Structure 1
Amino acid sequence: MKQFKVQSFVLVLIGFTLGFSEFLIVGILDDLSQQFDVPVATVGYLVTIFAMVYAISTPIITLMIGKTNLFWSLLVLMAIFTVGNAMSVMAPNFALLAVSRVVTALVSGVAISIALSFVSHIAPMAKRGWLLSWVFSGFSIASVLGVPLGTWISTNFGWRMAFLTIIGISIVTMGLIFGSLPRDFKQRGSSIGGQLALLKDSRIRIGMFLPMFNLAAIYVFYTFLRPIITTQLHFSTTMLTVLLFIFGIANIIGNQASGRLTNGPGLHAMPGVYVGQFILMMLLPFTFNLQWVGAAVLMLLIISMPLLNSPIQIHFLQVAEQGYPQSIVLASSLNSIFSNFGIALGSATGGVIVSHLGMNAVGPGGAAYTLITLLMVCWLNRVNKRTATSLGSKG
């Protein structure tokens, strides 16, 4: 039991470390803009670049791993991740900073996919939803502690020190991985074609697009969270750090609620979530002159952001375990792959909206993607019901 707790902590720490690196840009957007003398909207595209590289590289590297030992694969990926952040520390200009983010993004998606695969390897069925929600909460904790901490470090000591902090944490994480996780973990050997057979299943094909449009909706405004807080809601720099901390807590609450959903209604609860999210998105621009009301709307939207995580992750893993056991790591990666396509889509959309229509349009812009997500989850629930009925009649 003690070993399981330690292993669980290490998996959550992996999520925190990767999340800290990925989300840090949101907190230091203005500092990078001033340092390199580029517009804030241009710096925002670092989020888009990271997410696109993450999403494209993850399935390719995941398929290449095949039946390679996943313990050693994870350590190698974390080492490359550390090198990528070291490149960020030393970047002399914006172009090389972008290159360093590409290096980091190349391995981040595969690393978290393997970490999520370890969940199914070490956790009993009754604990999977709980542990999955905590691994995803590692990203939320990065928002609570990492992003405000990174923002504070950047403001007081320079943004390079923020990346140096990530390097220190990633080295500690690698040491804990080496000392605690099982070293004999491999997925069932299969060709690339055999692994890709998972994608023939309609439950997978429809499900893939849920995390994409879910995060596309959020990142239309979330990419510009710092300027929204300071220029639209007129909070001070001191309150910015406080609010980022509060929003991080809200994200943890959402992730823990997501874990509870897996033991309850699961994906059946999501249509109601997206109806509420759509309403909040449409209300957002009307709250920009109502400081605390606007902050409350942002908090509710951030709570809604991770609610899909555990139900859709369990959905992918169950489909793979039942019919495609050779594709466990690929199944584990789908949520993060398409989440990052969504981040790229949402942040790029947000950049276009801010450049041409202004900050007031980011809420309604995100609402359009929320509506698509609502339609997709209703479609998936219908397919799942039809499949369960079909299997029941055969049984």
Structure 2
Amino acid sequence: MPIAVIALSLSGFAIGVTEFIIAGILPDIATDLGVSIPTAGLLVSGYALGVVVGAPLLTVLAARIERKRLLVQLMGLFLIGTLLSALAPTYTVLMAGRVISALAHGAFFGVAMVVASGLVAETKKGRAVSMVAAGLTLSTILGVPAGTLIGQNFGWRWAFWMVVVFGALGLAGISALLPRTPAPEGASLKTELQVLRRPQVLLILLTTVLGFGGVMTSYTYIAEMVTTVTGFKPSAVTMIMVLFGVGMFVGNLASGRLADRAPKTAMCGSLAALVAVLAVFTLTVHDQIATCVTVFCFGAATFATIAPLQMLIMAKADGAPTLASASNIAAFNLANAAGPLLGGRIIAAGLGYAALNWAGALVSLAGLILAALTAAMDRTTTPTPRPATPATTPATTSSTDH
């Protein structure tokens, strides 16, 4: 894998810590800033909505900018938001800092994944995309647990200062290692927006929103869940985050290889696994050992969805993949915004933290149904080439899994 892809992954690591760190230090933030747990959970939703807005908007506005320069600028914007979060004296300022960081998030990954796929051979594009996403998974194995530990012992602000350091290293890596990459020829607002009118592109975006929405309904409140329901001490939350992160790393790498060979199979299979794991978590959350095993599987199923969904939407958006790629990142984060809202309603209704898991399973099930519909549409619209013979009826249609 080219070293430039590793540089993109390093930046993804910093961004991933900022995105996921709230789940580990959410109780500390709520106590320090004097807000409720559901209100603190909105910091996840606010970040996610920032990605939803920033991903397509900045991608379109920057359609003609050279890719290396654009990625450097986006990382600079991300660092400004993270610095504001670290210094935030109030909940409102913290929310503002997270939104600023989030504006750069979606556009960065949308551009980075397209750039990474262009640096490797056709047969390795899925692995290049998963390598960029691997920065996110490593952030949950190393960054989020470290940030959680630092936040619990020295104050939650220090977790954001840690992110500032990693973000600066990522920015330096891009500046030094990424080759100059011109914007796609013919890139324009019109050509990029036309892609979003394609039915299968829209269907994949909706699949992403629903499939991943179930994840954040449960994951956002996992610190409270495992301490109040499972019975873990607060100090064990770091271990839970590590298990989730290791699962994400394993699931991401495995799905990258499968996405190169059969992306539709990888998409449907990962979503089916996610539905099953969330449903089982409703029961296993009451036992500590079973919870540890389930959390690992939860992480694996969660990030197994990313590479195939990104590969499919880039394929369906052939000719203008950057906006489609960024829009799918936005779709993931629309799910990130909706999940905490649904979870907060469930908690406020008194249904209990365990109920977050079966609710998440139902949301992800809707995504699985749409994924199956996407695969079925391909089978009915992709013709199988056959030699012409004068005495046969027209050939039936079928599809390969690509």
Q: Does TM, normalized by the shorter one, top 0.5?
A: yes
Is this contact kept in 1: 2:270–2:305, CA < 8 A? no
Q: Which has the higher helix share?
A: 1
Deviation of the 1:107 alpha carbon: 1.2
Residue 198 (structure 1) aligned with residue 195 (structure 2): yes
The worse-fitting range, judged by mean Cα deviation, of 81-90 and 228-237 is 228-237
Between the aligned partners of 2:317 and 2:276, the Cα distance in structure 1 is 35
Distance (whole Å) between structure 1 residues aligned to residue 216 and residue 285 of structure 2: 18
User: 2:314, 2:242 → 1: CA distance?
Assistant: 32
2:339: which partner in 1?
346
Q: Deviations over 1:58-113 (max 9, x none)?
A: 11111111212121111111111111111111111111111111111111111111
Separation in structure 2 between the aligned mates of residue 305 and residue 344 of structure 1, nearest angstrom: 16
Q: Which residue of 1 aligns with 2:389?
A: none
- In the other structure, the counterpart of 2:381 is 387
**Residue 373 (structure 1) aligned to one of 347, 362, 367:** 367
- Bigger CA drift: 256-265 or 91-100? 256-265
Task: Supply the distance in 1 between the matched residues of 2:72 and 2:206 (Cα, whole angstroms).
Answer: 30
- The secondary structure found in structure 2 opposite 1:186 is coil
Distance in 2 between residues matched to 1:49 and 1:237, nearest whole Å: 25
Q: For 1:353 and 1:301, how far apart are their aligned partners in 2?
A: 20
Q: CA deviation at 1:391?
A: 8.3
Unaligned residue ranges in structure 2 (runs of 5+): 387-394, 398-402
Cα distance in 1 between the residues matched to 2:274 and 2:55? 29
Aligned-pair distance for 1:339?
A: 0.4
**Distance of 2:324 and 2:267 partners within structure 1:** 21
Letter in 1 for 2:345: V
Tell me what 1:115 maps to: 112
How many matched pairs?
387
Tell me which residue corresponds to 1:359: 353
Find the aligned partners of 1:242 and 1:281 in 2 and give their Cα distance: 19
Structure 1 stretch 58-67 or stretch 276-285: which is displaced more?
276-285
Shift of residue 223 of structure 1?
A: 0.2
Q: How does 1:282-301 map to 2 (within 5 A)?
A: 282-301=279-298
| CA shift digits 1:186-232 (9 cap, x unpaired) | 12234312211112222211111122112101111100111112221
**Alpha-carbon distance in structure 2 between the residues aligned to 1:77 and 1:219:** 25
* 1:44 and 1:347 in contact (8 A); partners too: yes
Is the CA contact 1:262–1:314 (under 8 Å) kept in the aligned structure 2? yes
Contact 1:55 1:341 in 2 (8 A): yes
Question: Which letter does structure 2 place at the counterpart of 1:389?
Answer: P
% same residue? 27
What residue in structure 2 maps to residue 55 of structure 1?
52
Using the size of structure 2 for normalisation, the TM-score is 0.92
Measured in 2, the distance between the counterparts of 1:391 and 1:38 equals 62
Assess if the C-alpha contact under 8 Å between 1:51 and 1:344 holds in 2: yes
- Contact 2:14–2:166 under 8 Å retained in 1: yes
Structure 1 pair 296/366, CA: closer, same or farther in 2 (3 Å)? same
- Are the equivalent residues in 1 in contact too, given 2:217–2:357 (CA < 8 A)? yes
Q: Within 2, Cα distance between the matches of 1:243 and 1:222?
A: 11
Question: 1:146 is aligned with what amino acid?
Answer: G
Q: TM-score by structure 1 length?
A: 0.93
Q: Where in structure 1 are there 5+ consecutive unaligned residues?
A: none
Match of 1:259?
Answer: 256
Q: Secondary structure at the match of 1:306?
A: helix
CA contact (8 A) 1:267 1:308 kept: no
CA displacement at 1:372 relative to structure 2: 0.5
